[in-house]
């Protein structure tokens, strides 16, 4: 095992979103809803839907390769691939193993992380631990989802919310100052069934009956989830900032899980934090679960919202109920920023 290091930095980032756009007006033709209701309750105007040949693995691989290219690395430089997802291609093998094959990496260990919408942040925390302990030098952390395959497009309370996509970062060991400053992770199983997908697991295996009753689709108690989300995001974010030895006023940009604009605004209000320093792209992607934070991070960088030395707070919340937050100082060098700009956002 190599010498443990303290510095864990984001050296690469990238995202991918499928080209097919599902607008609110398209949903108006599928369920009893309307654009005004969806925008006023969620802030979402459109979301991306994977094409017939796209899967979580294929989207994750594109985002992963973009992150590796931004870092100025080759696929074989990666020691570990961590994929946060709740929509794996298969129950087994892991989707991370398929991503390893797709990106042409011959040497990394690869595994999936199951923490729903917090999957990317949990993956980041895990990658951080591997690097800080000296077990890995470069870790590819991906969040990717094909939620459209788990969405009941006859249920207006859920089908308006979700979308597909992928985002990734490369975490690298370095002794330079900055990088990851504080991490908080929580799990509160008291809300385990607020957002869940009952069918297809070992407790309720897929049968013709379970399929006919729609157990293979996501179910959600929206109002309860909303309240838990605001409360938990706030406490998790605050804890990560505190662990970094900082104050919320030291944060330059918050990149929150993009579930719903009202949740994000309520979070900012509860923390007395200005919305001008919060990045929001939920209007164009909906809730892409584990993909949402890295997709938002890539777009925030592309939009010029992140510069060297900035202190970023990423915070997520999801089924479990899981929550996680990362406080970090952005240290990417100008060459990486130029490579990312050449690749473009999602």
Cβ proximity to ligand COA: between 254 and 263 the closer is: 263
267 lies in the binding site for ligand COA (CB under 6 A)? no
160 lies in the binding site for ligand COA (CB under 6 A)? yes
Parallel, antiparallel or unpaired: strands 219-220 and 80-84: unpaired
- Binding segment (CB under 6 A) for ligand COA, from list 33-41, 72-80, 86-94, 248-256: 33-41
140 lies in the binding site for ligand COA (CB under 6 A)? no
Total interface residues for ligand COA by CB under 6 A = 22
Note whether 104 and 125 are within 8 A (CB).
no
257 is catalytic: yes
285 lies in the binding site for ligand COA (CB under 6 A)? no
55 lies in the binding site for ligand COA (CB under 6 A)? no
Note whether 54 and 48 are within 8 A (CB).
no
Half-sphere exposure of 67 (CA within 13 A, CB side): 35
Half-sphere exposure of 232 (CA within 13 A, CB side): 25
9 is catalytic: no
Which string of x and - marks every residue 316-335 that binds ligand COA (by CB under 6 A)? -xx-----------------
Could you give the CA distance from residue 286 to residue 45 in angstroms, rounded to a whole number? Answer: 8
Structure tokens at 151: 């969405």
Cβ proximity to ligand COA: between 19 and 223 the closer is: 223
287 is catalytic: yes
Could you give the CA distance from residue 255 to residue 314 in angstroms, rounded to a whole number? Answer: 5
Half-sphere exposure of 287 (CA within 13 A, CB side): 26
Catalytic-labelled residue, pool 260, 261, 281, 287: 287
Parallel, antiparallel or unpaired: strands 46-49 and 138-146: unpaired
Angle at 283 between CA 280 and CA 288, to 5 degrees: 80
Could you give the CA distance from residue 278 to residue 264 in angstroms, rounded to a whole number? Answer: 8
How many Å from the N-terminal Cα to the C-terminal Cα in the chain?
A: 36
Which string of x and - marks every residue 212-231 that binds ligand COA (by CB under 6 A)? --------x-xx-xx--x--
Cβ proximity to ligand COA: between 2 and 30 the closer is: 30
Cβ proximity to ligand COA: between 243 and 262 the closer is: 262
Could you give the CA distance from residue 186 to residue 118 in angstroms, rounded to a whole number? Answer: 10
295 lies in the binding site for ligand COA (CB under 6 A)? no
Taking CB atoms, the residue at the shortest distance from ligand COA is 222
Q: Which residues are catalytic?
A: 117, 257, 287
Residue numbers of the site for ligand COA (CB under 6 A)?
33, 37-38, 41-42, 117, 156-157, 160, 195, 220, 222-223, 225-226, 229, 259-260, 263, 287, 317-318
């Amino acid at each position: 095992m190599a010498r443990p290091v303290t510095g864990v930095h984001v050296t690469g980032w990238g995202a991918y979103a499928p080209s097919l756009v599902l607008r609110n007006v398209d949903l108006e033709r599928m369920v009893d809803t309307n654009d005004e209701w969806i925008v006023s309750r969620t802030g979402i105007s459109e979301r991306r839907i994977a094409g017939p040949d796209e899967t979580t693995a294929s989207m994750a691989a594109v985002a992963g390769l973009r992150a590796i290219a931004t870092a100025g690395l080759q696929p074989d430089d990666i020691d570990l691939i961590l994929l946060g997802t709740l929509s794996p291609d298969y129950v087994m093998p892991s989707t991370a193993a398929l991503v390893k094959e797709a990106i042409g990496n011959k040497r990394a260990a690869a595994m999936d992380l199951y923490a729903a919408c917090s999957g990317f942040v949990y993956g980041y925390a895990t990658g951080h631990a591997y690097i800080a302990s000296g077990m890995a030098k470069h870790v590819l952390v991906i969040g990717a989802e094909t939620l459209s395959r788990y969405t009941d497009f006859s249920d207006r309370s859920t089908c308006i919310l979700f979308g597909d996509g992928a985002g990734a970062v490369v975490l690298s060991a370095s002794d330079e100052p900055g990088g990851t400053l504080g991490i908080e992770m929580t799990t509160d199983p008291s809300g385990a069934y607020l957002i869940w997908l009952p069918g297809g697991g070992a407790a309720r295996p897929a049968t013709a009956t379970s399929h006919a009753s729609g157990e293979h689709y996501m179910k959600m108690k929206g109002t309860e989830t909303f309240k838990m989300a605001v409360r938990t995001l706030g406490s998790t974010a605050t804890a990560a900032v505190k662990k970094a030895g900082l104050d919320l006023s030291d944060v330059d940009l918050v990149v929150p899980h993009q579930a719903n604009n009202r949740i994000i605004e309520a979070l900012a209000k509860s923390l007395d934090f200005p919305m001008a320093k919060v990045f929001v792209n939920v209007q164009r992607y909906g809730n892409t679960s584990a993909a949402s934070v890295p997709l938002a991070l890539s777009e925030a960088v592309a939009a010029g919202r992140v510069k060297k030395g900035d202190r970023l707070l990423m915070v997520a919340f999801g089924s479990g109920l899981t929550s996680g937050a990362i406080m970090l100082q952005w240290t990417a060098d100008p060459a990486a920023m130029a490579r990312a700009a050449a690749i473009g956002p999602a």
